[in-house]
A and B are shown apart, each in its own frame.
Chain A
Amino acid sequence: MAHCERASKPLLQCLQKASTRGLPALQLSSTRAFQTSARVQEEAQSEAQKQPFNKSPDPALVSSPRLERRLIRQGISPVGSRRRRAALQGSANIPFAQLPYQCFQEARKVLLQDREEKLEEITRLREKIARLEARPTEEAGGEQVKKSRLGGMQKHLEHLKVLADINDPQVKKKFEDGQGDMSKPIYRYLADQKWREYRRKILVQRITQMKVVPDVLPHCDPIVDTKLYFNRSAVQPGDFVQANASTTAPKLDIQLFEGGEKLVTIAVVDPDVPNLETDSFDFRTHYLAVNVPISAISTKVDLAQLSADSQVVLPWEAPVTQKGSPYHRLSLFILEQKDSQPLDFAAVKAKESVRDNQLLRTLQGRYHLKAIGAHLFRSQWDETTLEVMEKIGFPLADVELRRKKIDPLPYKRRNPSTFR
Chain B
Amino acid sequence: MLQSRFLTPMRLLERAIAPSLRSSQSLTRSSTITPSSILPRPISATPSPLSSRLLLPLSQVRHASHASQGAGNRHSRDPAGKRLGAKRSGGEYVVPGCIIFRQRGTKWFPGENCALGRDHTIYATEAGYVRYYLDPELHPDRKFIGVCFEKEGKLPTPRNAPSRRKLNRVAVPRIEIADESPARSDLTAHVGADGVVVASVDAATAAQGGPQLRPGYMYREANWQIGRAAEKAGITAKPYNSKNRWLAWRKRQARADRAAQMKSLKNKKKTKKGKGGR
Shortest CB distance B139–A (Å) = 15
* CB <8 Å contact, B169 and A404: yes
Q: Could you say which of A44-52, A165-173, A213-221 contacts chain B?
A: A213-221
* CB <8 Å contact, A404 and B170: yes
- Quick one: which of B93, B159, B167 contacts A280, CB cutoff 8 A? B167
- Chain A residues with Cβ below 8 Å from B171 are 276, 396, 399-402
B172 interface residue (CB < 8 Å to A) = yes
A339 interface residue (CB < 8 Å to B) = no
B174 interface residue (CB < 8 Å to A) = yes
A24 interface residue (CB < 8 Å to B) = no
* CB <8 Å contact, A406 and B127: yes
A31 interface residue (CB < 8 Å to B) = no
- Chain B residues with Cβ below 8 Å from A396 are 171
Q: Which residue of B lies closest to A401 (CB)?
A: B169
* CB <8 Å contact, B160 and A402: no
* CB <8 Å contact, B160 and A399: no
> Binary interface profile of A, 203-224, with partner B (CB < 8 Å = 1, else 0)?
0000000010011101100000
A274 interface residue (CB < 8 Å to B) = yes
* CB <8 Å contact, B95 and A214: no
A398 interface residue (CB < 8 Å to B) = yes
Complex CA gap A211/B165 in Å reads 12
* CB <8 Å contact, B166 and A280: yes
* CB <8 Å contact, B169 and A399: no
- Chain A residues with Cβ below 8 Å from B208 are none
Known: A214-B160, A219-B160, A279-B168. A398 touches B95 (CB 8 A): no
* CB <8 Å contact, A407 and B95: yes
* CB <8 Å contact, A281 and B165: yes
- Chain A residues with Cβ below 8 Å from B168 are 279, 403-404, 406
Known: A219-B160, A406-B127, A407-B95. A279 touches B167 (CB 8 A): yes
Complex CA gap A398/B174 in Å reads 5
A22 interface residue (CB < 8 Å to B) = no
> Binary interface profile of B, 164-186, with partner A (CB < 8 Å = 1, else 0)?
11111111111100000000000
* CB <8 Å contact, A399 and B173: yes
* CB <8 Å contact, B161 and A281: no
> From DSSP, what is the main secondary structure of chain A's interface residues?
loop
B65 interface residue (CB < 8 Å to A) = no
Shortest CB distance A278–B (Å) = 8
- Chain A residues with Cβ below 8 Å from B163 are 211, 214-215
Shortest CB distance B255–A (Å) = 30
> From DSSP, what is the main secondary structure of chain B's interface residues?
loop
B134 interface residue (CB < 8 Å to A) = no
Complex CA gap A78/B98 in Å reads 59
- Quick one: which of A214, A271, A403 contacts B159, CB cutoff 8 A? A214
A275 interface residue (CB < 8 Å to B) = yes
A409 interface residue (CB < 8 Å to B) = yes
- Chain A residues with Cβ below 8 Å from B160 are 214, 218-219
* CB <8 Å contact, A274 and B162: no
Complex CA gap A396/B169 in Å reads 15
Q: Which residue of B lies closest to A211 (CB)?
A: B163
A95 interface residue (CB < 8 Å to B) = no
- Quick one: which of B93, B96, B98, B172 contacts A402, CB cutoff 8 A? B172
* CB <8 Å contact, B95 and A402: no
> Binary interface profile of A, 275-289, with partner B (CB < 8 Å = 1, else 0)?
110011100000000
- Chain B residues with Cβ below 8 Å from A408 are 95
Complex CA gap A402/B170 in Å reads 5
Shortest CB distance B196–A (Å) = 16
- Chain A residues with Cβ below 8 Å from B96 are 406
Shortest CB distance B115–A (Å) = 15
* CB <8 Å contact, A409 and B167: no
* CB <8 Å contact, B95 and A409: yes
* CB <8 Å contact, A400 and B175: yes
- Of B172, B174, B175, chain A has the most CB atoms within 10 Å of the CB of B174
A323 interface residue (CB < 8 Å to B) = yes
Complex CA gap A324/B165 in Å reads 16
- Quick one: which of A398, A404, A409 contacts B173, CB cutoff 8 A? A398
Shortest CB distance A207–B (Å) = 13
Shortest CB distance A414–B (Å) = 13
A325 interface residue (CB < 8 Å to B) = yes
- Of B164, B166, B170, chain A has the most CB atoms within 10 Å of the CB of B170
Q: Which residue of A lies closest to B159 (CB)?
A: A214
- Chain B residues with Cβ below 8 Å from A214 are 159-163
Shortest CB distance B158–A (Å) = 9
- Chain A residues with Cβ below 8 Å from B161 are 214, 218
- Chain B residues with Cβ below 8 Å from A211 are 163
A-B contact pairs, 20 of them (CB 8 A): A214-B161, A214-B163, A218-B161, A276-B169, A276-B171, A279-B166, A280-B165, A280-B167, A396-B171, A397-B174, A400-B172, A400-B173, A400-B175, A401-B167, A401-B170, A402-B169, A404-B169, A404-B170, A406-B127, A409-B93
Q: Which 6 pairs, one residue from A and one from B, show the smallest C-beta to C-beta distance?
A: A218-B160, A400-B174, A401-B169, A215-B162, A399-B171, A404-B168
Residues of chain B whose beta carbon lies under 8 Å from any beta carbon of chain A: 93-96, 98, 127, 159-175
Residues of chain A whose beta carbon lies under 8 Å from any beta carbon of chain B: 211, 214-216, 218-219, 271, 274-276, 279-281, 323-325, 396-404, 406-409
